[in-house]
């Protein structure tokens, strides 16, 4: 007696890692909470960052990886304390992505 087997179907899954983390950074004599999020599909070269200002309003900006080595802030119309923290943010991102 022959037993027929149903068609075997395969499903392929692609897992995309959603990277997000929070770091406390002392800048402008205050401890501030920076939130980082790397969006899926951005080839790991762009990170969205947000941080509250003194009044609780969110400052949102993007950092891009330049020359494959350092993360740089993409905007210039940000408070000076954000721009001055660029090097520290670069170090924190690299540490987290290791």
pLDDT of residue 47: 93
Q: Give the residue-averaged pLDDT of 56-68.
A: 92
pLDDT band at 9 (very low <50, low <70, confident <90, very high): confident
pLDDT of residue 40: 73
Q: Could you give the 3-state DSSP secondary structure of residue 13?
A: coil
Domain spans, the chain: 19-97
What is the tens place of the pLDDT at every residue in 15-59?
667 789 999 999 989 999 999 999 777 677 899 999 999 999 999
pLDDT at 12 exceeding the cut of 90 = no
What is the tens place of the pLDDT at every residue in 83-93?
999 999 999 99
Tell me the CA distances in angstroms from 75 to 41, 64, 79, one per residue in order.
21, 10, 10
pTM: 0.79
pLDDT at 95 exceeding the cut of 70 = yes
A 10 A CB-CB count for 5 gives 5
């Amino acid at each position: 007696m022959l037993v027929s087997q149903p068609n075997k179907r395969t499903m392929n899954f692609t897992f995309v890692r959603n990277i997000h983390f929070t770091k406390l950074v002392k800048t402008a004599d205050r401890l501030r909470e920076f939130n980082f999020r790397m969006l899926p599909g951005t080839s790991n070269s762009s990170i969205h960052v947000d941080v509250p200002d003194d009044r609780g309003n969110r400052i949102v900006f993007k950092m891009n990886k330049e020359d494959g080595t350092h993360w740089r802030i993409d905007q210039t119309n940000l408070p000076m304390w954000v721009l001055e923290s660029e090097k520290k943010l670069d170090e924190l991102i690299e540490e987290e992505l290791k």
